[in-house]
Amino acid sequence: MTSRHLLTGHVLQYAGNPLAQPWADAVHIAENSAILIENGQIAAIGEDARVSGPDVVHHDHTGRLICPGFVDAHVHYPQTAIIASWGKRLIDWLNTYTFPEEMRFGDPAYAAEIAARYLDLALDHGTTSVASFCTIHPASVDALFEASAARNMAVVAGKTCMDRNAPEGLRDTAQSAYDDSKALLEHWDRKGRARYAITPRFSPTSTPDQLAALGALWAEHPGVLMQTHLSEQVDEIDWVQGLYPEARDYLDTYEAYGLLGARGVYGHAIHLEPREIDRLRDVGAGLAHCPTSNAFIGSGLCDVMGLSRAGQAVGLATDTGGGSSFSMLRTMAAAYEIAQLRGEAIHASQLLWAATAGSAAVLHRSDEIGTLAPGMMADICVLDLASTPAIAQRAREAGAIWDAVFPTIMMGDDRAVAQTWVAGRCLRQS
């Protein structure tokens, strides 16, 4: 007999997008509520969920917050082992730390080791889905999808394509990028919970021919995602302008080659021109806000609240390992701090929404992840709101529930993750 699982505690519930409407209308914490998991999915929430029987296993999370599993909208799993490397800004950081490490993924055994290590770290932190760049090596994509299939995680990934401005051994060609991406896409996309993303790293490391080849591939497979980087640092934007003198702006280097669309996910997008802002919103593209990374490698203060108010879809991302943490709690805290530096306070409900439903939406996976509702996959993160003495003393004094949640967002880490569930299986329990 397969078990059903009953989780009781405070349950995070969404009725809309709190970045586009008043947060109190969109997000609600159902206190002392319940979730029933059956056959890998959420079967019921609230009073309907309170069933009993010999097949029902009860997980009592009284005082804890039951959230959708975190969805990290932009990561580089191959950078796991170089996270928190000191002292460089983007281009130097890529050349000094990132490219040498990515070279090691020519060894499929190393790729498999890091893929497993990365996903295990993600689960430790309550992250149940990610969209990851791989390396130029097709085996690095196989490694991540094999590791995610073993855990039944909903993962988006793609072979990173680069045919210039990268070291020997880390370059493909326009043709091989097309051929390898096509073969990987046809093999992996929609295999179980795997989804493929065509992945040009960014305009400086692709020739126009390569961008055109990947644009053509996307046109042939419009159902897949496309992920890349956009306007992260001012020096990078100047470099792009020199490499693509015809382009109206950075986004135009993608647009001109068929790499702008609703299924596109653009990482960082900090220093945008008005035309870029309008185009991204009008085509329905998604942005991945990477606040720890944007601070750590000195990129800038993204106006994520202004972009959201203007109708832009935005998810939240660690950008491991340009970002300095695997934790989406730490990432929410950084988003809060960066907004404060811009003169705005993001509410806890907005931060949690961005880290779950917001990211799921930009990855076009809202039908299965990012929200707790009947019929959704049971990908769940249970947060202990008193995980350290410092947080506990602060939460104890809290009046309203949101005042008890916010200290965990600002001060919490993997110790706050009481359980992580993936497709109805509890994979982490503290």
Toward ligand GUN, which CB reaches closer, 90 or 391?
90
**Using CB under 6 A as the criterion, what x/- string covers residues 318-337 for binding ligand GUN?**
-x--x---------------
Interface residue with Zn ion among 69, 126, 267, 315 (CB under 5 A) is 267
Interface residue with ligand GUN among 201, 221, 279, 330 (CB under 6 A) is 201
Angle at 301 between CA 360 and CA 207, to 5 degrees: 70
Give the separation between CA 287 and CA 215, rounded to whole angstroms. Answer: 19
User: Encoding tokens for residue 280?
Assistant: 């991204």
Give the separation between CA 378 and CA 342, rounded to whole angstroms. Answer: 36
Q: Which of 368, 350, 360, 391 is nearest to 17 (CA)?
A: 350
| Residue 357 DSSP one-character state | I
Toward ligand GUN, which CB reaches closer, 193 or 201?
201
Output the smallest distance, CB 233 to ligand GUN, in A: 8
Select the residue whose beta carbon is closest to ligand GUN and give its number.
322
With residue 127 as reference, give the H or E element that holds it.
strand 127-133
Give the separation between CA 244 and CA 17, rounded to whole angstroms. Answer: 37
Helices and strands in the chain: count of H runs, count of E runs: 17, 16
Toward ligand GUN, which CB reaches closer, 302 or 381?
302
Is residue 413 a contact point for ligand GUN (CB under 6 A)? no
Output the CA torsion 311→315→321→322 (10° steps).
Answer: 10
Interface residue with ligand GUN among 98, 127, 206, 356 (CB under 6 A) is 98
Angle at 82 between CA 78 and CA 233, to 5 degrees: 85
**Using CB under 5 A as the criterion, what x/- string covers residues 316-335 for binding Zn ion?**
---x----------------
Q: Which of residues 63-92 bind ligand GUN (CB under 6 A)?
A: 76, 90
User: Could you tell which of ligand GUN, Zn ion, none binds residue 255, using a CB distance below 5 to 8 A set by kind?
Assistant: none
Output the smallest distance, CB 375 to ligand GUN, in A: 36
Query: Total residues contacting ligand GUN (rule CB under 6 A)?
Result: 11
